[in-house]
Amino acid sequence: MAVAIKFRRRRLLQYAAWIIVLGMGLSTLMLHHRGLNWTKRLSALSGDVNAGEDTTFAMPQPTRTVPMHLAADKELEKITTSESTNTRTTSTFEESASKLPTTISNTISNTTTTSTALIRVKCFPHNSDRWIRETKDSNNDAGMTADLIDTLLEGPKYFKKLSAVFQETICHDQSPLKQIAKQSPSVPLEQRVEEWYQRFFYLALHWKFHQPALTEYQARKQCQNDENLLPQLQHFQNRHSIRNFDFECRDAKFVVSPIGHIGFGAFINTQVCLTILIALRTGRIPIFTIQSIYPWQKDKVDPWLLAPTNCDRKDLQCYFMPMTPCALLLDDIRNATRYGSTSAEQRWLRTRMDIPEEMKRDLVVAVNSGLQSKGQETSEVRSIVADIVQQLMDEWIKQQKEASEKEELWSKEDWEAMELAKLWIIEKAREDTTGLLRQFYVYFLRLNPQYKAVLSGRMSELIPQDFQPSNTVGVAIRGSDKCKKESTCLPFPRYMELMSDVVHPALDNPSLRPRLIMTTEDPAIFNESLPYTLNASFPFQFLVNDQDNMQGSGFPKDFRDQGETTIVSTMTALLLHLSAGQVYLNCCSNFHSVIRNLITAQCGAQRHGNSFIYSHLSNATLTEKSDWGATPLHTVAHCLNEEGVVPRRFRICCGWYKKDAICDEIWEEHLQNREDFMQKIEKKKIG
């Protein structure tokens, strides 16, 4: 009996639920009908309805919009077609929305409450449904303000914003690259031309890798500026895990490179530079990832060894800006077409900077992270680079010449320099990509907002108020593993002899006691420097980073538990040397080579006189200038491994260079000294 009663109660509850659902459905239809009648009556008051229709004015009833929005979402999910991996659908939300039932579509358009569907149409009209729904390899937007994002995406289009674009680089504030303000007419013409030569290459890279996201950004920006839409926009982005610096870039294709576990300097000199060259050659956007894309990788991710422990991403964006605002889907990365797994494929990539023809339609092509060799320039790469820069310059110069306020922004001398730089780049880039390659380093090493603040604070602690770059010398000393096979190394006292006997007398004001910035990764070298820092008779006063962790090795696996302190120490050393008027380097070291490339890219506090500015100039417009080359060159970066830079006693030789007579002798001396040193250590152990 009890069971029967319980069954009847359950059946009655079911009937009641059905009646409620049916009633809600009928109510919704009636309310919608009243809403349509209300619209007609409003139209009638303004004379827009046909004669004979009911124009009685009546208060409209509130429309239940939430059920309709949910219904709209469900209908969209039904309509959306599945898309194959590594390809992109051509349908957008606008096309899908057009297929909605008329009732739902009208409700969305007529409702006063902002719906998910409306946000989708207004704020993300250029995105595919698949990209909205699926998991993305999102960019790190922590600390990115709306102004910063606007500068990154729209800044390169306008001369007014160029200064803000260059402020995001690691360059010294007094560097020629950042000094875009109106200059004195007394500045030599060749300096102006060479500075614009460097700037245009940087801006061409920046524009190339950001422009594919511009249309999406502009649509989203309109929604962000609408107070009524902003809350719903933020909710939509949170719901679909779309960060503020995530864009689909539907018209772009990509080359993905897993981050290699090699030294930081070696990683930049080889893998970064080669991947960017391949991207330019193939018309793609470069992305560096920790996602596993090769069958032998057991885990889904392969974290970067130098990533900080408090950064869940474990990739380059823990410290640096994203290479591009484009955010790929994780499935597209993991299922990317792979190339570069064999030595023959890697040789093709290094010599051609290209991918096979059959892969060029693929959305994502992944190149092997084992690419540890530098690329080789080709005429095709140089031609592509020149075309990219020329198109960009043409657009800028035309836009600025049409601007009425141009005379307030730029002097006549600046305009002349830009026109000459344009002609020169077109000519020179087709025979030498040196200018472009140097700007790879400037572009890649843009610190993210968090670590930009960290490094700024560190430099404020280290640099005294009376610091003068012109009265400062830097010496970067590489020791530890570099001295085994890759390079000869000078004893520390000989470095000090070079500073006191050669460098100091050649300074403009040798009577003053200039500062000496000394950096090293080797604790033994740092200990040897201590007596000199306390010696008041030594002609230099030392400036060192006393918080440097001096990891004692160039191999990340040897100090993976010190990732954050190592990168912060490395970047601090780099910034210190960019502050010096002269820097002496061992360019057999990849990291020292990075410093040199940044300085010669006009990223340092002092202008580096590049000798290439006067060579290979055949254009009559350039060579007819009477004062061309009148200003003597001031060299900032000096590589001790290059012939003629310093006397033989201070010469360094790299292990992979073809040994000449001098380097044969230097290597013999180096190996003998090293053997003697090792014997002394063994005797101490025995004793």
pLDDT for 548-607, tens place per residue? 866 555 555 555 566 688 899 999 999 999 999 999 999 999 999 999 999 999 999 998
Buried b (16+ CB within 10 A) or exposed e, 365-378: bbbbbebeeebebb
Cβ neighbour number for residue 53 with a 10 Å cutoff: 11
Distances (CA, A) of 154 to 150, 399, 543: 6, 14, 40
Residue 363 near residue 253, CB atoms below 8 Å? yes
pLDDT (0 to 100) of residue 101? 47
| Sites in the chain below the pLDDT cut of 50 | 3, 6-7, 21, 26, 28-85, 89-94, 96-113, 404, 406, 612-632
Q: State how far the alpha carbon of 202 is from the alpha carbons of 199, 357, 481, 610, in Å.
A: 5, 29, 34, 17
Q: Which of 128, 126, 100, 130 is nearest to 115 (CA)?
A: 100
DSSP for residue 472: E
Q: Break the chain into its structural domains and give their ranges.
A: 2-38+63-133, 254-367, 463-659
Per-residue model confidence (pLDDT) at position 490: 93
Whole-angstrom distance, CA of residue 378 vs CA of residue 356 = 17
Burial of 648 (0-12, 13-18, 19+ CB in 10 A): exposed
pLDDT at 88: 58
Residue 579 to residue 462: CA distance in whole angstroms: 11
Tens digit of pLDDT for each residue in 356-377?
999 999 999 999 855 555 655 6
The CA distance from 528 to 539, in Å, is: 17
pLDDT value for 671: 82
| pLDDT score at 109 | 44
Dihedral (Cα; 414, 416, 418, 424), 10-degree rounding: -140
Say whether domain 463-659 belongs to CATH 3.40.50.
Answer: yes
